[in-house]
Structure 1
Amino acid sequence: MATDTSVDITDEALAADAGPLVDRLAADQVAGKLAAHDPTLWGAAAESEAAVRLAWTTLHDTSRPLLAEIEALRAELQAEGLDRIVLAGMGGSSLAPEVITAAAGVPLVVLDTTDPGQVADALAGDLERTVLVVSSKSGSTVETDSHRRIFEAAFREDGIDPVTRIIVVTDPGSPMETAAAEAGYRKVFTADPNVGGRYSALTAFGLVPAGLAGADIAALLDDAAAAHRALHVDGPDNPALRLAAALGAAHGRGAEKVVLADAGSGLPGFGDWAEQLIAESTGKDGTGLLPVVVEGPDSIGFADAGDDATAVAIGPDASGAAISTTGPLGGQFLLWEFATAVVGRLLGINPFDQPDVEAAKKAARALLDGPAGGPAATPALVDGSIEVHPSGNWLSVGVATVREALKVFLAAAPEGGYLAVQAYLDRLDDASAAVLRPELARRTGLQTTFGWGPRFLHSTGQYHKGGHQNGLFLQLTGASEQDVEVPDRPYSLAGLQRAQALGDGQVLSDHGRPVLRLHLTDRAAGLVELVKAIQDLGQEAK
């Protein structure tokens, strides 16, 4: 892999459009001002938020003191035979450490789900060797709090004192810091509060779980420091200015989607991390860039991206891409953070807020607080192992099969729109659901995203409500063979998962977007039936 962090704009027309933007950004000293934490770059309306959100630009230096602290704790844990690290976190709290450990080839069990089966599998691991890292910036994330309660009870049931096995990463002064101090948990790391969650890869949120798992986090910071030397310079060769200008120029001519494919980067999962950064930072005020993570450079929707999308290769194989980025993980983190913040300036939005994320949380909470977790849902039709639940009144009378429902649903797609598949399932045991993305993209001609619920709510969920309003939303839920109760809470994981799906679906429907929920009464059989129904669509949905 290349050791330098770089950006290549391989599309000549795009490069020509991006050139003047790069010159303008350099003339305005945007890179230098960003590195110097200038909060005025995004206008007066964003200034107060930006003033407390720019510390990420120097984390390659300011996070150094953490290294010794993490290494000392890891040595303690190893000496006690505690070598299984389970991370409970959502959004930036899980995506960054997951890609860091994957790139390093070290194991990390990541819980960013409310699926009871997936959590039960994590509980079934060897608790005698297990340490739980509870990671939440706000300290009140419902999924993460549920995981903490469940594991604390499991430790206690196995005769293990939970306080010796729980490590917390949070912001100073958060409810979780207070609760951790009261409980006496083994260790509490507080992160820099002047860094937003999606820019937190090089804070304690990324470094603690990855370092405890055995990743070389010192090298990660070294790579970021090396990249920073180019990223803060106001000149035409700054890779972040080039990337931002290319994406901004593409958006200006109608390419509002960014298709990301791993092209030999050696950084598995990087696209998922970048997806959250881009979608939450730019998807607001009716504009933004929708990241579409595909399986590889040969995937449907990449080389044939179309006029509404820009294909970006992460790695040295730039074939079929309009843009490619290369470099080590620490450099790629910083490159995309700089570029995304600069794209916010070009789009005229505040890249540091997330005004629409809370809507789905409030809707889910309302269902959880209602009787029995909300009203029972009556399907519009049942076809084999699949119940069909449309939100709104768009489903035609007389539709009798899943195939027919999909046909009507997909016909509502506007020109240049997109399809979002949202799977509230077990991303390990139900991993085959991911095949739905290319199957649907191939038959609809739409750029198609795939997200595991509820983790996508902490990433593309912002774009779905705040970005370009041209999406269709296909939700997948499934019956659970087992459930997991959340101690001292009036709901189980299955109830929480259901409330999150229904709540987000209601918010999307209230935005006037078509939503179709397919509930699999038998997950394995239902997925097979659904793939068959999609394949039977042939070219009809185009």
Structure 2
Amino acid sequence: MGADQTGVELDPALETAAAPLIDTLVADGVAGKLAAQDATLWGADAESEASIRLAWTTLHRTSRPLIGEIEALRTDLRSEGVDRVVLAGMGGSSLAPEVITATEGVALTVLDTTDPAQVADALAGDLDRTVLVVSSKSGTTVETDSHRRVFAAAFEEEGIDPAQRIVVVTDPGSPLAELDQCRKVFLADPNVGGRYSALTAFGLVPAGLAGADVARLLDQAALVADAVAADTADNPALRLAAAFGAAHADGAEKLVLADTGSGITGFGDWAEQLIAESTGKEGTGLLPVVVDGTDAPGFADAAGDATPVAIGPSSGGARIATQGPLGAQFLLWESAVAVAGRLLGINPFDQPDVEAAKKAARSLLDDPEALNATATPSAVSGAVEVYASAGTSAEGSLTDILREFTATVPADGYLAVQAYLDRLDDASASLLRSELAKRTGVQTTFGWGPRFLHSTGQYHKGGHQNGVFLQITGASEEDLAVPDRPYTLGTLQLAQALGDGQVLADRGRPVLRLHLTDRAAGLAEVMRAVQEISR
């Protein structure tokens, strides 16, 4: 298979198990119906939502007019010396632009965080050269609204008119669509959900302004469009969906994703949201576990509860491999995950459990006393404060506490590490995933908070209820006020962590929060404690 060819390879056993499902999907005309945007594919309960969420199937054609608009704005900005693009967006509004620009090697500063230090780093860039893309479907995303307010104030302080440096991407009718303080509003197709929006304005505008060739992306998707719409047994989307369905039916409820030389940078992070938020509901679903390579713990040694998936050529014991250029992979995976929803018997277009954590965070922001009432740790170990939920004693050393906590992972369960930190300056936190997976022998995910709340957060509450959650929060040396709001970014970040933890604990899931009073020292101490856990 050539580098520009798009296809799916399955190992012989999975090929055999998937074959009956492929035959059924072909006999039912699922691919053709999906391409025709048939909202009945997922049953009567899902029909209303599906009827307004299927326009992504034709974006390789319908997004073409955006190309000229993006290039015209980019040319105007460059003529004014504005060549630094900062994107304020969460979930589907940031993950696709990030993988597009990283793959093409063009610079894009992504703000999908409430960490004060990470936002301050973005502010410290050359504002004279900066345009801020504010991207939100609803127009009310609290993180994105906070970023807009912070940057608008910073522009004004530097004598720069914010109305000339803010570009909006949103759905028609949202509050952002009527924003006066912006240079241009790009209205996205409202009939596309956030995690399926890679080839809408949400993916193309920030990436195109940063210098990515977005026309080529659409061309790549167009090349595979006929194949994924064909009701044939070699349809790559049907093959991938059937492989997911067959593996899940055999107990493999997790997909371990590793890049094997695809030429795409960060695809797993984008696919993570698509898979988890689309399938993780009603007590079922597929949990994506993104790892650094085929030699990472949990990939080649994956047990029966997980399926190793190669993004690129098959290697390292992968049972599934997908190949093709980025635009084609977007459409392939979107189609496959939508069809997998049919096989799992769920609606792939809603996210019924996402709002719970947002509501809990808002309640804490509205009640500062409740937020401060959480300030008594269960134990203290150096620069680490331990906050344990019911079921964890918080006794002994930090290693003892972590050993006891990770032992609560049930058979075929998973451990989720959630770091509410600066993903640039505190990047070493991500190493905890592989260390914990190696020491505990269980599938382990890692997410930066609150970014993951717009991604795997749905699965955590709605998917298989066998997760155990390790939160890591950290003290901020300097906080940032949010203009015209009664909270700072640091307060918002803590409220999001505590709110999500509260929702998980209320659903009977074990939660352990480690708060780093000194981030560098605390992370080093946590890593040492993890490395002392014996498998």
**Distance in 2 between the 1:411 and 1:440 partners?**
12
**TM-score normalised by length of structure 1:** 0.97
- After superposition, what is the alpha-carbon deviation per residue over 1:483-507, rounded to whole angstroms, capped at 9, x for unaligned? 1100000000000000000000000
Name the counterpart of 1:339: 336
How many pairs were matched up?
533
Deviations 1:443-473 (A, max 9, x none): 1111000000000000000000000000000
What are the within-5 Å matches in structure 2 for residues 226-305 of structure 1?
226-305=223-302
Deviation digits for residues 313-347 of structure 1 (CA, Å, limit 9, x no counterpart): 00124331000000000000000000000000000
Secondary structure of 2:486 counterpart:
coil
Which of 433, 451, 459 is the aligned partner of 1:455? 451
Match of 2:174 in 1: 174
Q: Is 1:420 aligned to residue 416 of structure 2?
A: yes
Shift of 1:359: 0.1
CA contact (8 A) 1:423 1:477 kept: yes
The question of whether the paired residues in 2 share the 8 Å contact of 1:171 and 1:193 is answered with yes
Structure 2 residue aligned with 1:6 = 7
Q: Distance in 2 between matches of 1:30 and 1:155?
A: 51
Alignment of 1:126 with 2:126, yes or no, is yes
Separation of aligned partners in 2, 1:375 and 1:81: 45
Structure 1 pair 317–311 and aligned structure 2 pair: CA distance change class (3 A): same
CA distance in 1, matches of 2:407, 2:214: 48
Cα-to-partner distance string for 1:9-55 (whole Å, 9 max, x where unaligned): 02x21110001111110110000000000000000000000000000
CA distance in 1, matches of 2:310, 2:469: 26
* In 1: Cα distance, 2:265 partner to 2:386 partner: 34
Whether 1:93 and 2:93 are equivalent positions in the alignment is yes
Describe the SS at the equivalent of 1:86. Answer: strand
Alignment of 1:155-194 (within 5 A): 155-178=155-178, 180=179, 182-183=180-181, 185-194=182-191
Q: Is the 8 A contact 1:373 1:491 kept in 2?
A: no
Aligned position for 2:307: 310
Q: Give the partner amino acid of 2:446.
A: F
Q: Deviations over 1:195-216 (max 9, x none)?
A: 0000000000000000000000
**CA distance, structure 2, for counterparts of residue 310 and residue 515 of structure 1:** 26
The 2-side partners of 1:462 and 1:359 are apart by: 9
Distance 1:444 1:328 in 2: 36
Where in structure 2 are the equivalents of 1:348-363 lying within 5 Å? Answer: 348-363=345-360
One-letter code aligned to 2:68: A
| Alignment check: 8 A CA contact 1:373 1:495 kept | no
2:257 is matched by which residue type in structure 1? L
Contact 1:477–1:517 (8 Å) recurs in 2: yes
TM-score normalised by L of structure 2: 0.99
Which whole-Å deviations, capped at 9, do the CAs of 1:283-307 have from their partners, x for residues lacking one? 0000000000001111110011110
Matches of 1:318 and 1:357, distance apart in 2: 35
Quote how far apart the aligned CAs of 1:372 are: 5.1
Secondary structure of the residue aligned to 2:94 is helix
424, 428, 435: which is aligned to 1:432?
428
CA–CA distance in 2 between the matches of 1:372 and 1:69?
A: 48
Q: Which residue of 1 aligns with 2:527?
A: 531
Q: Show structure 2 runs of 5+ residues with no match.
A: none
List gaps (5 residues or longer) in structure 1.
Answer: none
Aligned to 1:24: 24
The 1:147–1:372 alpha-carbon spacing in structure 2 relative to 1, beyond 3 Å, is farther
Contact 1:264 1:317 in 2 (8 A): no
Distance in structure 1 (CA, Å) of the matches to 2:393 and 2:432: 24
Partner of 1:396: 393
C-alpha separation in 1, matches of 2:402 and 2:7: 42
In 2, the alpha carbon distance for the partners of 1:103 and 1:342 equals 27
After superposition, give the CA deviation of every residue in 1:139-188 in whole Å (9 maximum; x if it has no partner). 0000000000000000000010100000000000001112x1x33x1000
| Alpha-carbon separation, structure 2, partners of 1:527 and 1:469 | 28
Structure 1 partner of 2:461: 465
**What code does the residue aligned with 1:58 have?**
T
Alignment partners' CA distance in 1, 2:68 and 2:388 = 53
